[in-house]
Amino acid sequence: MAKLLRMPEVAANAVDALLANWLVGEGAEYSAGDALAVVETEKAAVDMAAESDGLFVRALVGDGATVEVGAPIALVADRGESIADIEAELTRLGVGSEPETAQPAAASAPTATVSAPVAAVTPAAAAVDSPPPARGRIFASPLARRLARDSGVPLESIVGTGPGGRIVRRDVHAALAVGTPVPSAAPAQVVSPAIEGTSTDIPHTRMRRAIAGRLVESKQTAPHFYVSGSCRVDALLAMRATINENSDVKVSINDLVIKAVAKAHTLVPEMNAIWTTDATRRFSSVDISVAIATETGLLTPVLRGAQSRSITDVATTVQDFVARAKSGRIEPAELEGGSISVTNLGMFGVEEFSAILNPPQSAILAVGAVKREAVVEGDDIVIGSIMRVVLSVDHRPVDGATAARWMQKFTAVMENPVLILA
């Protein structure tokens, strides 16, 4: 029997998602577990897998459509079944043959939700070039209202893309990313017109807009401060060489850094915390985000329970993260949580840099390249391997002295790497 395939909730609390492209054609049969489409959220592009065997009858939305969670996206049937009258089946299931356009909710219906049979295509974000016309009551989620208030963005200037035209978090991020005018004494940015043939505009992807919005939110709402340190890592490099000589799993310097971060968090548990509206939340497990660069943007999957993992387990998990991030197979749930991120540009020869916090995390460690330098050893000058790191910290849950103690412990662990394995 024919039935509707609906947009899944691929990310927690998501109200919609972008159907990037279909992976099956009309009339094709598929098996349970086969990828039917690529669905893109604000954080990642993931494959939507079939729950059972079936026949793909007709796509109800096209590639690039932004669809409300739960809205029908395709007509499917049992494997081997023949659907003689597709239009009749769609009518029976309450779905029109043509997509319907969602209409904004009326001012008198604050909880109205559009339930069009087929979700309309909406822009990933709407740029506001001029003040919008006056409108009645503005509907927005509590989180969107808070973000708009903290960022100084008038709700009146934001176009809502949630159910019934409701303003949701991504709309505030999009408004910040495209430069929605905010009350400020600073002059507005003026973009000079491009001379023909001298530039190319690359349209923002949903993920690029989300990254931009989150970074602006981070810098505007989290008071950053920075603590830098230098580690002599000769012993660390020697230990890594020994491990790799005796293990089938190859361990990178970054894997050892992650374990050192986990150890420092156990030694200074006050760092393993984030800021929430009502309290500072501390964690018992050390969950660390690992920054991975992809063609579509930066992903930060979370390595959970890093304090209790072996170094080879860390290496194996990170290698899996990298492979799946580059092929678009990171699950949205893997991007949630953690109190600290590790980002490493050492492979590019960068010696030192400062990173922007990944909200709601309270810290991010920026790791530079290992360089051979002259160092003082007693009364002698010798050549040593030096790595420089910079810790960016949210001052709301973490004090400067706490971050300084953490850096002291981290440096000690890096210079005495046997502590990583303890």
- Give the C-alpha separation, 176 to 179, whole Å: 5
- At residue 21, the 3 state secondary structure works out as strand
Show the beta-strand stretches assigned E in 52-203.
54-59, 65-68, 72-77
CA distance 390 to 355: 8
* DSSP assignment letter at 215: H
Q: How far is CA 115 from CA 7, 13, 95, 162, in A?
A: 13, 18, 11, 12
First to last CA, the chain: 59
Which residues 6+ apart lie within 8 Å of 79 measured at CB?
29, 53, 54, 55
d(C-alpha 211, C-alpha 83), whole Å: 43
- Where do runs of H (alpha helix) occur along 117-205? 142-151, 169-178
Q: What are phi and psi of 251, to 5 degrees?
A: -100, 130
The helix (run of H) or strand (run of E) holding residue 381 is strand 380-394
Catalytic residue, chosen from 173, 204, 224, 395, is: 395
With contact defined as beta carbons under 8 Å apart, do 120 and 99 qualify?
A: yes
DSSP H helices, 17-141, are: 86-92
Q: Which pair of structure tokens corresponds to residue 301?
A: 């999957």
**Cα–Cα dist 350/371, whole Å:** 10
User: What's the one-letter identity of residue 273?
Assistant: A
Q: How far apart are CA 77 and CA 2, in angstroms?
A: 4
Q: Hey, what are 288's tokens?
A: 């660390």
β-pair type (340-344, 288-290):
parallel
How many CA atoms are closer than 13 Å to the CA of 186, on its beta-carbon side?
6
Return left, alpha or beta for 179; rule: phi > 0 is left, psi -120 to 50 is alpha, else beta: left
> Is residue 204 among the annotated active site residues?
no
Helices 206-221 and 169-178: angle between axes, nearest 10 degrees? 90
d(C-alpha 254, C-alpha 371), whole Å: 15
Any idea which residues carry the catalytic annotation? 395
